[in-house]
Structure formats: C-alpha cells, structure tokens
A and B are shown apart, each in its own frame.
Chain A
Amino acid sequence: MPKWITQVGCPYCGSSCDDLEVLVSDDGKKVLETRNACVIGNEIFHHASSPNRPTRPRMRQEDGTVKEVTYDEAIDYTAKTLLKAKKPLIYGFGSTNCEGMSAVARVAEKAGAVLDNCASICHGPSFLAIFDNGYPSCTLGEVKNRADVVLFWGCNPMHAHPRHTSRYSIFPRGFFTTKGNMQRTIICVDPRETDTAKLADIHLMIDQGHDYELFDAFRTVLRGHDIPDVVAGIKKEQILEAAGKMKNGRFVMIFYGMGCCHTDGRNHNVDIAISTTRDLNSHTKASIMAMRGHYNIAGPGQVWSWQFGFPYCVDLSRGTHAHMNPGETSSIDLAMRDEVDCFVNVGTDAGAHFPIEAVRHLKKHPFITVDPNICMASEISDLHIPVRVVGVEEPGVVYRMDNVPIQFKKVVDGPDGVLSDEELFDRVYERMCELTETEPIWILNRGHAHGSSTAEQ
C-alpha cells in the first residue's frame, strides 16, 4: 500500500512550509502525490523521482565530454584540487541542510578557502544593514497571530514564496487576527503591479530604484513633518494615507525583498527600512523581516556565525582567523578580480544565477559542482558530484526565513549509492587529512555533539 507521510517540510522557498503530505510508493522509492504544496514544491518532490537524474559523479574529459567516475575518485579529485588551490571559493548552500553546511565549513577551514553563500547575491545587503542598525524582527507565527497592517516592499510572495500569504501574512486567522484578511490592511510598494500588489489595499507604484526616498518620506511623515507633493513617483496623499494606516495599526509588519537589495542603494535601503520600523515603534508595534529566498538560506548564517563568527563572505585563507568584508571577500567581487583559483558550487546554480561575466572568470580555474540535479553549473564543471535531495531523500535541520529551526524529514530513499552533502564533505575532509598527514580532528570530535550519523563511519 502506498503510504501518506504527513508534516513534511518543503525544500523550496524561505517559507519552509512544514505541513506537506506526501504519498510514497510501496517500496519507499517514489513520490506519487503531494498535498498542500505549491506548484514549485510539488515539482521538487516529483522531480526527485526522475529517471534522468545523475547518480554517479561525472568528470569532464579533455575533449569536453563527461565520463562517469566513482565517488572515491571524485572525493580524491576534490580533496587534491582544494589543497592545491591557493584561495579556493566554496559557494552556494541555498538548498542543503545545516549538517551539510557544517561539514563544508570543516573542509573550507582545512583548505584555507573563502566560504560564501547565496545571501551574497541576495540578502547580503540586509546583513550589512543589520550589522549597522539592528534587526527588530519577530517570527512568522507572530505575524500570523498579531499583524493587522502588512507592508510588502520590493517583494512578490505570490511568485517567490507562494504560500507565504496564506500561511502567515495575508489570509490566515490568528489569535488576535480572528477575521483573517478582513482584519488586515495590506500595503504593497513595487514598481510593477505584481500579483501581490493586486491583493493589496494600497499599492504604491514607486519609481524603480527610489526606495530610499520613499522610506525617508515615511519617516518624515511619521515624525510629523511635511513632505513634497510627489516623492519617488508617489503622491503625497497616498503616502499620508499609507502612513496613517501604519500609525493606526496594532501591529505593523514590514516584509522586504530584492526590490531593496538588488538595486541602487543596496544596504542603505534596508538600513532605512529598519529605521522606519524603529520610528513606527514610537506609535505602535512594528517589526521587519527579510523575505529570504530559499528554505534554508538562513541556515549558513546561523551555522557559520556559530563556527566562525560571520554569516557569509567568510575568508579562511589566512589560516589563523576568519575575516569578512563583503565587497572584498564576496563571491562576485572575488570572481571579477580573479582572486580565486578554484570554485566549488554546492547546492545552488552559479552558472545560471551569477552574471555571466563572473562565471567566465571562475571557469578559468578548476570548477566543481555538488548538486542533486543537472544544472548550468554542473554542465560547465570539471566535476559534477550528485547528492541526495535534502527534504526529500535526506533529513536535516533548516532555518526558516524568521530564523526558526525546523527538522525536515526524508520521505523516500535516495538513489542507491548516492551520498548526502554531509557524507560527501566529511569524506573529502578525511581525504584531505590523509593527504596532508594530519589528524581529522573534527571527525574525531564530532561524536560528542553529533551521534546520529557517526555510526556508519
């Protein structure tokens, strides 16, 4: 009998839904059906069972074709390449679990690498603003139960976080928000009339790239001063109306996305968003949250802050201490300045999502991809190592966009012989220790904190 597995976590967006139900086949190898998932989550669960998935590492040959190799060969190649490189860059982690991130960090330390995650090209500016200005945030549960004015600024959850509005931010009925969306005022700031903007009571169609001015106008109004007749393409009356709604709300929630981080101003847009939240708190309760893109992209920030003291752009090449300076130690800048001589792409697709010029620079040196699927990065790599899909074939801890950790489960067995990210990088680490004739201290010490997966070592 096929079996329904409940309370399954979804490995797609930062909403990290954990209420999915998945029907798996008798032999526990195939996903037959999903419930509660959005179209994208549904696609992930079904894609995992695809017969076209690679199940063995593939090494690029001199003539440009690829040849299957064993995991041992792939691990040996990765260990030797990392040791040989003066300053390797290990980047990615949008789609893996914290266990994998921790294992990669041990390898990075051994290799003297730069360790960076997708936040670098996404919410990195948010980190910069948060370092400078603090982060008066809350959990998504609080949003659901308390928020009666919700502001979406430069984000489009209807497309990027499909169930965000129904689980947390617009529609659900909560403890103090018993009437659901009837009780909530939705304000959307976006240069396009997005599908999220269509759900809003007030849509401020801002001139693209003028976010800072509009935030500044809100701060000015909230502090009781006058503003010009038009700011950032928005009429004064509309700004006053939106500011009035916020002031009169019982709990104002600001969600912001790439509209702030990807455009001119970057961290300064986020900085003033945080200051606006602070100003609002002299009138009512207000909170702010970054719409993190992937189900565990908050994870590396947590894991590496714990390991090294920094959430991203962690330069370990000095060998003595970690160093972080986005702009200098960030992936795109390192690539464009040709400062790295090996690139390892883990659980993401730099080939598709980096500006192409950065990809061209990185490809001058050994290029390794660790990812369950065929992607653009895998198709230009010297070596592609497939791994199990976290959340489908591999359990693990993930951090939701509000930094709440959730234990994801596996629903089916991975393809025979395919390793997890954690297993793979632990073996790379051990191989690096063998090659350098050093003690694998992190593996030896790991048993104390991490009993579960050491049994198979």
Chain B
Amino acid sequence: MKEKIVLNMITQRAIEEGQAMEKGKTTPEYFKACSIVEMNPEDMKKLGIWRNTNVRVTSEAGSVIVKAIEPTQYVPPGLAHIRQGVWANQVVPPRTQSTGTPQYSGFPVTIEPAIDERIKTALELVQGAVGLWKEGGN
C-alpha cells in the first residue's frame, strides 16, 4: 500500500455529464456525474482505498477532491479519468503546445486518499477561484 500514486489523467465526455449539464451545472445530478475520478481497481488497491472513497487529485495546475469510483467504462491500470467539467478543470494544465488547446488529456496527477475531506460543489469551486464564494451562496 502506498500513500500516493501517480496516474496519467484524461478528462473527456460522458453521456451522464452531458445530460446533467443540460439540466444545470448547479444541480445534484451534475455534481454526481462529474465530481468523480474513475480508476482501475488495481490502482485503488495500491492506494489502499475502497471504491467510493474521496481522494485528492493534484496536478501541476492545481488540486481537487473527488470521489474515486470503479470505471463505468474500463480504464486500464495507470490511467485515470475525470469527466470533463468543473472538477476536471481544477487540475487541467492550461499549457497549449502553441495550439490554443489546453492539455485536457495525458497529464500526470498524484492521487492520495482524502477520506475526511469534503467534495466542493461546482459553484464553490468556480466562485471560490475568483473570490466570489460566500458560505450559503450569493
């Protein structure tokens, strides 16, 4: 068992994310669909966590708490997937290789257990990033 594990992160679409996004990014559906990281059970074992445990995902760009789940679409060991959206974009590096397109896929992240930490809502993350978040909402 390790304290942390380094995985290769990709952030892409999922139909659950698409449906929830159209319902609204402040809905519980969007929170449920996107505040997760999908990783192979082997990697969970290495990290010493059960499925549905909160973890901290850290990249060169930032860090976010999400829930580790078993893949809904098979992810091989070494790879991790956060569905595109607010949580993913807390860790997506903005470097573009001079093309304008950020590194949404294929960047190293460190994942560590964060059992007692709370997953922030989309609004808290985005408003918090720009200094607008107030406890209880605006």
Docked CA distance A124–B105 (Å): 15
Q: Are B101 and A191 touching (Cβ within 8 A)?
A: no
A40-B15 in contact (CB<8A): yes
State whether the Cβ of A380 lies closer than 8 Å to any Cβ in chain B. yes
Pick 12 A–B contacts, CB within 8 A, sort by A: A125-B101, A160-B12, A191-B76, A258-B105, A263-B105, A312-B100, A326-B99, A327-B96, A332-B96, A333-B100, A356-B62, A376-B123
Partner of B126, one of A13, A262, A380: A380
Segment at the B interface, from A143-151, A345-353, A442-450: A345-353
B11 proximity list for chain A (CB < 8 A): 262
Q: Of the candidates A192, A356, A374, which one forms a contact with B81 in the assembled complex, judged by CB atoms under 8 Å apart?
A: A192
* In the complex, A429 has a CB within 8 A of chain B: no
Contacts A352-B126, A360-B130, A380-B126; is A40 near B18 (CB within 8 Å)? Answer: yes
User: Considering the chains assembled together, what is the distance between the CA atoms of A362 and B89 in angstroms?
Assistant: 15
B138 touches A64 (CB 8 A): yes
Cβ-defined contact, B90 with A356, below 8 A? yes
Q: Name the residue on B nearest A259 (C-beta).
A: B105
Across the interface, which residues of A come within 8 angstroms of B89, CB to CB?
A: 352-356
Q: Is B79 a contact partner of A208 (Cβ separation < 8 A)?
A: yes
Given contacts A376-B25, A379-B127, contact A262 B15 (CB under 8 A): no
Check if B76 sits within 8 Å of A205, measured CB to CB: yes
Q: Does A12 have its Cβ within 8 Å of any Cβ on chain B?
A: yes
> Does B54 reach chain A (CB closer than 8 Å)?
no
CB A215 to nearest CB in B, in angstroms, measures 16
Task: Note all chain B residues with C-beta closer than 8 A to A193.
Answer: 73-74
Most buried by B among A336, A356, A358, A374: A356
- Nearest CB in chain A to that of B18: its residue: A40
The reply to whether A349 and B101 contact each other, CB–CB distance below 8 Å, is: no
Partner among B22, B79, B81, B129 whose Cβ is within 8 Å of the Cβ of A360: B129
Question: Does A375 interact with chain B (Cβ within 8 Å)?
Answer: yes
Binary per-residue interface labels of chain B (14-25) against chain A in the complex, 1 for a CB within 8 Å, 0 otherwise = 110011011111
Q: Chain A 368-389 against B: per-residue CB contact (8 Å), 1 yes, 0 no?
A: 0000011110011000000000
**How many angstroms from the CA of A66 to the CA of B84 in the assembled complex?**
28
Q: Tell me whether A159 and B100 are in contact in the complex, defined as CB-CB below 8 angstroms, given that A44-B22, A353-B89, A359-B130 are known contacts.
A: no
User: Which residue of chain A is the closest to B14 with respect to CB atoms?
Assistant: A159
Which residues of A does B touch, CB under 8 Å? Answer: 12-13, 38-40, 43-44, 47, 52, 64-66, 116, 120-122, 124-125, 128, 156, 158-160, 162, 191-195, 197, 205, 208-209, 258-259, 261-264, 266-267, 293, 312-313, 326-327, 330-333, 335-336, 349, 351-360, 363, 373-376, 379-380
Q: Are A357 and B10 in touch, CB under 8 angstroms?
A: no
The residue in chain A whose Cβ has the minimal distance to the Cβ of B94 is A355
Verify A380–B130 contact, CB threshold 8 A: yes
Inside 8 A of B96's CB, which chain A residues have their CB? 327, 330, 332-333
A107 CB to nearest B CB, Å: 22
Chain A minimum-CB-distance residue to B122: A376
Which are the 3 A-B pairs with shortest beta-carbon distances? A330-B100, A327-B98, A193-B74
Contact with A47, one of B14, B23, B73, B98 (Cβ below 8 angstroms):
B23
Q: A43-B22, A195-B73, A379-B126 are in contact. Are A121 and B102 (CB under 8 A)?
A: yes
Q: Chain B nearest CB: distance from A293 CB in Å?
A: 8
B55 on interface, CB distance cutoff 8 Å: no
Residue from the list B74, B92, B101 in contact with A261, Cβ < 8 A:
B101
A158 neighbours in B (Cβ, 8 Å): 15
Q: Which residues of chain B have C-beta atoms less than 8 A from A331's C-beta?
A: 100
**Residue contact B94 to A191, C-beta cutoff 8 Å:** no
Q: Is the CB of B25 within 8 A of A375?
A: yes
Which of A44, A125, A258: most chain B CB closer than 10 A?
A: A258
Which of A293, A352, A380 has the most chain B CB atoms inside 10 A of its CB?
Answer: A352
B138 touches A66 (CB 8 A): yes
Q: A43-B19, A124-B100 are in contact. Are A192 and B73 (CB under 8 A)?
A: yes
Distance between Cα atoms of A375 and B129 in the complex (Å)? 15
- Indicate if the CB atoms of B100 and A326 lie closer than 8 Å: yes
What are the residues of chain B within 8 A of A44 when measuring CB–CB?
22
Residue of A128, A159, A355, A358 near B13 (CB, 8 A) is A159
Check B103 for interface membership: any CB of A closer than 8 A.
yes
A385 to B: closest C-beta gap in Å: 18
Tell me if B106 counts as interface (CB < 8 A to partner A). Answer: yes
Known pairs A313-B100, A332-B94; A380 contacts B127 (CB<8 A): yes
A52 to B23, CA, bound (A): 11
CB contact between A125 and one of B74, B81, B99, B125 (< 8 Å): that residue: B99
Residues on B with C-beta less than 8 A from A359 are 126, 129-130
| Cβ < 8 Å to A, chain B residues 70-128 | 71, 73-76, 79, 81, 84-86, 89-90, 92-94, 96-106, 122-123, 125-127
